[in-house]
Amino acid sequence: MNGVAMCIWQDGTSYTGEWKDCLKEGHGTLTFPDGSTYKGSFTNDQPNGDGVKLFPDGSKYEGCFFQGMFNGLGKFVQASDGSTYDGYWRFNQMKGQGTKITNKGLIEISGNFDGNGLVTGKGQKRWKRVWYEQQEMYPFRNIRNEEIFLYRGDLVNSQIQGYGEFKWPDGRHYIGNFVNSQMQGVGKMSWTH
């Protein structure tokens, strides 16, 4: 089979797109029995190159594929909690430079991911604390407040460990050593007003 055609298998899988020598080759859409779909480039019967995979729960991956797996630069959005990973993948694992945002945007970590979803080496962690206050003048209207905490430096398994700098929203700033995410050892603390 060559050209553009549609094929439906007995298990409910379907493909609409380009074929070459009876293999999926070029652009097309592959739909699986569970409702997930892949739309993008195919080479030698496999998703290869740029594409988008949608999962039954609404999660989405958009980026590079190799032999049907997330491989290269891509972004994954988890539908259930809105967490994202935007960066490099290797055989369906977060591996290489990237940024992961979890807990509905309250925690962000960037760095070199190890394939297990963790950063070891130089990286950055950012926390956002959000709270609401009631207005006196309008008691049914709340004011949203937020503070940002920022760390840049050494990470081990995504935990603060080694040398780095930590900034608090009130102007405190620490540069020095950390052990188990706590300031420990030689360091310098400063305050700005």
Domain edges within the chain: 1-80, 83-193
Write the CB contacts of 121 (distance below 8 Å, at least 6 apart in sequence). Answer: 111, 112, 154, 155
**pLDDT attached to residue 174:** 96
What fold does the segment set 1-80 form as a domain?
2.20.110
Model confidence, pTM: 0.87
**What does the pLDDT read at residue 181?**
93
Asked whether this chain's domains 1-80 and 83-193 adopt the same fold, the reply is yes
pLDDT for position 26? 96
Which ranges of the chain have pLDDT less than 70?
139, 193
pLDDT on residue 53: 98
Q: What is the pLDDT of residue 104?
A: 80
83-193 fold: 2.20.110
pLDDT at 140: 72
pLDDT of residue 193: 65
